[in-house]
A and B are shown apart, each in its own frame.
Chain A
Amino acid sequence: MARFRNKKRTPFVRVRQFTKKQPTVDHVTGDKIPKSFVFCRGKLPGTLRQLETDLRKLMLPFTALKLKEKKRNNLKDFLNVSGPMGVTHFLILSKTPTAPYLRVARTPQGPTLTFKIQEYSLATEIAQSQVRPRSPKDLFKNPPLIVLSGFGTGEQHLKLTTIMFQNIFPAIDVNTVKLSSCQRIVLLNYNKDTKLIDFRHYSIRLQPIGVSRRIRKFVQNHQVPDLRNLQDVSDFVTKVGYGSESEVDDEAATVSLPTDLGRVNRASNKSAVKLQEIGPRMTLQLTKIEEGLCSGGVIFSEYVNNDKSKNQKTHDEEDNNEEEEEEEEEEEEESEEEGEEED
């Protein structure tokens, strides 16, 4: 018997790309499309690692979903890689015994915003808490919209925050955008009294209004309704059901669509905008803004005086001594304790 040679032998390819080929420049607006890296610094517990993956999903499609980070990687390594890949922003998660921190930085030498994460919830937990969690397939194909609310007080650091967040996500051209591609929205709400920023991530859904619930469900789900108790089809169509809470739509939530979106939402008919929460939920507090990338002069600091040095010390130590993580944590603990003693 002759030996059969496998002609479909695939050559050995080392796949090292961790972003797909994406346009670096938006062909409509001519602006550079911002890309981001989300990674951790230091040893993090399991829930924070989950948060990291949630944030990566949030930043899709313009981020490295499967970014491989090793213990020995410095900030410099990431910087070196970000140049050729066209990465513009870093989102860095880290943890000290007091709280986890999120740093949003603009490469290569842009400002760094440090947020203290007061509370956070994971995407899976939010899905569990909902009755009908929704996750359509193409949800993460397009970048999200961003809504910033409550930042308009005119303070310098808030303005910088708004600009930073506006630039993380790519711009949307009103004239050419397809509404079907706007499926997600990120909300950042600033509360002046508590100085906390609420971070939420929703998915957008459009529902036609003006039709009764039964007909709408019938058309959407393609399920044959139960007509046992009815005499005539007209009964089904004209039956007035009791209105549930969600049926009472505000005028404010209705939108008139320019084009058809799917079978159900027709152009120039009113549709209602329904949001459902997906993705992580965070409560952030802006603690520090630095001029450089995790370095440089401090433009703004939440706690002025002694504590400023304490915060700087912990984060600088994190940056400099990446290889000795355990010792790092000990040092941080020590420095924090010292700081507290000083106070």
Chain B
Amino acid sequence: MESVEVANRGKRRNSGKKKGKMASKRPRLNEYKVKIDKKMKKVFEKRARDYNSDDEDEDEDEAEFTEPKRKEEEEYEVEFSDNDEEEQEEEDGFKRGEVSEDEDGGIQPGITKFADGIKAFRLAFKKIVKKSGDDDDVLGPVLSAHKKLIAEKLGEEEAEKKVKGEVKKEKNLIREKGHVKPVNYLDAHEKFLLGIATKGVVKLFNAVNKAQTAQRGLNPSRSRDEKVIKKRRKEAFFSELGRTSSQSAKTVVKVGTSGGSVDDDAPGWAPLRDNYMLTNPKLKDWDKMQDKNDEDDFGRQPQTDSSSDED
């Protein structure tokens, strides 16, 4: 760092950067080799870190470059005049100075190429982007001249995508066939169905109500009462159902009537009854009565056509 101080004593300095540049020129002149010692490495790294192309403009670059060049030249001249020993260096310095004018610093291959190379690339890229801003959006900034080929390729890709999209849509349609999303409100049809279901439930509940309240008075454990219970139960239930079924429209409620298939003397538990799983004549008659109305199909028939007799 002594050499640096010596070189810059009394001189106006532009910036820290240039000081380092100046300092490294002295030892470099002798060797003309790129030997980066530790200190210089640190300097290079610092420069790379600090380098920010956004801060600089083209004009600034040029201004900066012109200034240090002049500085360099001045310093060379001054120093060379001081040291006659370095006549060679003088020439070299001038040459280098000239070179530095023309080529933007070919003297320091390590640092300058990096920084200047970046700036050069940046300039070139900016020019291209400016130029290609007028082109179609499809192509974008194109660096090569094969615009037509690229356009074709992109066109093909788009066509492929379209075809695939259509195939996918068809597949999706087939998959979701029949799937309907329900609407938020209750439309007329739904209300109508709700009404039917409500009627069915109401019928059932009323029948249950009647059957169970009639039963309440009597104690089922007493055998004599039991018969009365059954009789009353059966009559009440069927009268209730018969009446309401003729009034209402085409509604069937599935109700298993154990009471329906019972004679007065039959035991409570179904399998013990004589006509377990056989048609009850009374039930049949009741059916025939209902057939005249031809409106309803009521009660669960103890016929076993549909249930298998595996037992």
Contacts and interface: CB of A to CB of B under 8 A. Distances in A.
A154 B294 contact: yes
Interface in A151-198: 151-152, 154, 159, 162-164, 166-167, 169-175, 177, 179, 182, 185, 187, 189, 198
B250 interface: yes
A92 interface: no
A202 B300 contact: no
B68 interface: no
Contacts of B200: 145, 147, 149, 185, 187
B8 interface: no
A175 B215 contact: yes
Contacts of B175: 45, 47
Interface string B270-305: 110000100000000000000000111100100001
Given A30-B269, A152-B297, A189-B196, A172 B255 contact: yes
Contact of B181 (A125, A130, A166): A125
A174 B300 contact: no
B183 interface: yes
Contacts of B306: 106, 110, 163-164, 167
Nearest to B249: A149
Interface in A208-264: 252-259
A172 B254 contact: yes
Given A119-B178, A258-B209, A167 B270 contact: no
Given A31-B270, A45-B176, A152 B296 contact: yes
A173 B252 contact: no
A145 B256 CA distance: 11
Contacts of B255: 171-172, 174
Contacts of A185: 197, 200-201
Contact of A47 (B176, B211, B269, B294): B176
Interface string A110-134: 1000000111111001100110000
Interface of A is mostly: mixed
Which size class do A's interface residues fall under?
A: 35 or more
Interface string A19-48: 000000000111110100000000001010
A174 B259 contact: yes
Contacts of A30: 258, 269-271, 276
B208 A174 contact: yes
B208 A177 contact: yes
A98 B213 CA distance: 53
Nearest to B259: A175
Interface in A79-111: 88, 97-100, 106, 108, 110
Given A147-B200, A149-B200, A166-B300, A175 B212 contact: yes
A121 B181 contact: yes
B174 A187 contact: no
A281 interface: yes
Contacts, number: 183
Interface in B158-211: 174-184, 189-190, 193-194, 196-202, 204-209, 211
A316 to B, nearest CB: 22
Contacts of B300: 166, 171
B215 to A, nearest CB: 6
Contacts of A117: 178
A255 B234 CA distance: 21
Contacts of B208: 174, 177, 179, 258
Interface of B: 174-184, 189-190, 193-194, 196-202, 204-209, 211-213, 215-216, 233, 237, 250-259, 269-271, 276, 294-297, 300, 305-308, 311
22 contacts: A97-B177, A106-B306, A119-B178, A120-B178, A129-B181, A129-B182, A146-B254, A149-B251, A163-B305, A171-B300, A172-B204, A172-B255, A174-B207, A179-B208, A189-B196, A200-B197, A252-B202, A253-B202, A256-B206, A258-B209, A258-B212, A281-B182
Given A97-B177, A152-B297, A259-B212, 20 more contacts: A30-B270, A30-B271, A88-B307, A120-B179, A129-B183, A129-B184, A149-B196, A149-B200, A149-B252, A150-B250, A174-B204, A187-B193, A187-B196, A202-B194, A204-B201, A255-B206, A258-B212, A273-B202, A275-B197, A275-B198
Q: Top 9 A-B pairs ranked by shortest CB distance?
A: A171-B256, A30-B270, A147-B200, A45-B175, A255-B205, A258-B212, A148-B252, A187-B197, A119-B180
